[in-house]
Homo-oligomer: A and B are copies of this chain.
Amino acid sequence: MSANTFGTLFRLTTFGESHGTALGGIIDGCPAGLIIDVEFIQQELNRRRPGQSNLTTSRDESDAIEILSGVFEGRSTGAPIAFEIRNRDHHSFDYDHLRTAYRPSHADYTYDVKYGFRDHRGGGRSSARETLSRVAGGAVAKLLLQHSGIRVTAFVSSIGGIHASNVLTAGQPEGIELSPVRCPDADASEKMVELINSLKVEGDTIGGTITCIISGVPPGLGEPVFDKLQADLAKAAMSINTAKGFEYGEGFRAAAMRGSEHNDIFVAGGEEGIKTATNHSGGIQGGISNGNDIVFRVAFKPVATLQQSQPSVNSKGENIVLAAKGRHDVCVVPRAVPIVEAMAALVIADHLLRNRSARL
């Protein structure tokens, strides 16, 4: 209902611009009694931070989080948990040339049309820096999920045309963080790094995909009809900057499959209850989790800011040339991994609480 709030019962409202005073948010609806591990939240933010390897931008943002409310003696109190991350490394002057320029495939033009003017510094509210607040909110959601034995793991499954070999089980999440591009397939990871390095020379950028696996989800989460679990996951994923596609289970491949091939046959599971022989469904049936791993994939376009000069127009409709400037990533997909996890965690945390009202 509100552009800057996500969730129904476990709700995150965010604020902040790339070069404003601070970014942050309010988590409303976190149940009382949860141990709020601030160091864990900070680590999650660090995973999103640029400058983690020589593949990403050298902008040094310490991104230190401060919790402002809602936590008392280390535990959530049921009151809203507000947090903020102050902006430090402004360099606003870097952006003065963008006050009237419309960068191709950015939000400059659409913001101007919608609002009549915009905070042009570093993209303002449309900057991917906004996702800091999502990662912080998602970290609290993860703490709630951990308490329920649920684990969210994402990794880079492709960059450009280079695909990781099919890694559909949660497997060794450690392998993910060891790769500079967060791809657990070492061969693919190496090729991805090479591709990024070569594109850096060209001043170009490249897209990719992220796969996310949520394990330990109890059956029963998700609401029929509009708030199907996959619908809320799709919205969560597609609200991330540069996301262009979402699929779960077999996804687009399912469109070419036969029913006899795609159906997940149930098998009597003995003490563990009812199981399915396969997981083509991606852990969700009828919009509701069935206890299998939830598996989805998100496609990201290449970053629009290039280290090449580009022709464009300005707000007066005049032709201009945008010079290559600023500090930008060739490929942001590795940095989007914690963002995808955060959004997935927010959705599952919300549905965990919503499901408490399903039955008498």
A302→B235 contact, CB < 8 A: no
B31→A359 contact, CB < 8 A: yes
Report B-chain residues with C-beta under 8 Å of the C-beta of A165: none
- Contact pick for A105, options B66, B228, B230, B264, CB 8 Å: B264
- Contact pick for A286, options B72, B111, B265, CB 8 Å: B111
Cβ < 8 Å to B, chain A residues 30-79:
31-34, 66-70, 72, 75, 77-79
A34→B360 contact, CB < 8 A: yes
- Contact pick for A15, options B79, B106, B265, CB 8 Å: B79
Report B-chain residues with C-beta under 8 Å of the C-beta of A77: 17, 115, 117-119, 124-125
CB of A169 closer than 8 Å to a CB of B: no
Cβ < 8 Å to B, chain A residues 287-329:
287-291, 299-306, 308, 310-313, 317-319
CA distance A56 to B241 in the complex (A): 40
Report B-chain residues with C-beta under 8 Å of the C-beta of A282: 244
With A227-B239, A265-B104 known to touch, is A260 a contact of B204 (CB < 8 Å)? yes
CA distance A252 to B102 in the complex (A): 25
Cβ < 8 Å to B, chain A residues 1-27:
1-6, 8-9, 11, 13-17, 20-26
Residue of A254, A264, A269 ringed by the most chain B CB atoms within 10 A: A254
Report B-chain residues with C-beta under 8 Å of the C-beta of A193: none
A22→B82 contact, CB < 8 A: yes
Report B-chain residues with C-beta under 8 Å of the C-beta of A243: 230
Report B-chain residues with C-beta under 8 Å of the C-beta of A304: 259, 262-263
Report B-chain residues with C-beta under 8 Å of the C-beta of A228: 238-239
CA distance A11 to B77 in the complex (A): 23
A287→B105 contact, CB < 8 A: no
A31→B357 contact, CB < 8 A: yes
A20→B69 contact, CB < 8 A: yes
Report B-chain residues with C-beta under 8 Å of the C-beta of A274: 102, 109, 313, 317
User: Which chain B residue has the least Cβ–Cβ distance from A9?
Assistant: B357
CB of A358 closer than 8 Å to a CB of B: yes
Report B-chain residues with C-beta under 8 Å of the C-beta of A109: 219, 266, 274, 285, 290
CA distance A305 to B259 in the complex (A): 8
Report B-chain residues with C-beta under 8 Å of the C-beta of A208: 255
CB of A256 closer than 8 Å to a CB of B: yes
User: Which chain B residue has the least Cβ–Cβ distance from A249?
Assistant: B244
With A69-B16, A72-B124 known to touch, is A113 a contact of B285 (CB < 8 Å)? no
> 27 A-B pairs, CB-CB below 8 angstroms?
A9-B357, A13-B13, A16-B68, A33-B360, A69-B125, A77-B125, A105-B264, A107-B288, A110-B219, A111-B224, A113-B219, A114-B288, A125-B225, A147-B360, A159-B255, A199-B258, A207-B262, A230-B238, A230-B243, A244-B251, A245-B252, A246-B246, A247-B252, A247-B299, A259-B305, A259-B306, A273-B317
